[in-house]
Amino acid sequence: MKRIGFLLKVKQEMLEEYKKHHEAVWPEMLEALSKHGWHNYSLFMREDGTLFGYFETPGSFQAALNGMDGEAINAKWQDFMSPYFESPDGAHADKMMVALEEVFHLD
């Protein structure tokens, strides 16, 4: 499995609402993520809205993103969540993800 980490930034004034939506992620979205190799997917957030995402995938980061690109539910989720991020207007978070370099790992 390849371990993937990425950063995004949630708008300060929308932190609580963002967290609330992640208490009940749409079942179809969860199914699509699993189907396309997003395993052990976790999101961690600092008080300033900096979001660290982590998941494991059998293929590449790009393959995991490409798989989700073909899912209609992903487009709906990305449209729904885009206002929460500090990004160009309407930009989808999955288009702003840049994989972080793994520099250390301990099993």
What is the DSSP annotation of the chain? -EEEEEEEEB-GGGHHHHHHHTTS--HHHHHHHHHTT-EEEEEEE-TTSEEEEEEEESS-HHHHHHHHHT-HHHHHHHHHHGGGBSSSTT--HHHH--BPPP-----
Q: Is 22 a catalytic residue?
A: yes
Given the residues 22, 36, 39, 105, the one annotated as active site:
22
Known catalytic residues are 22
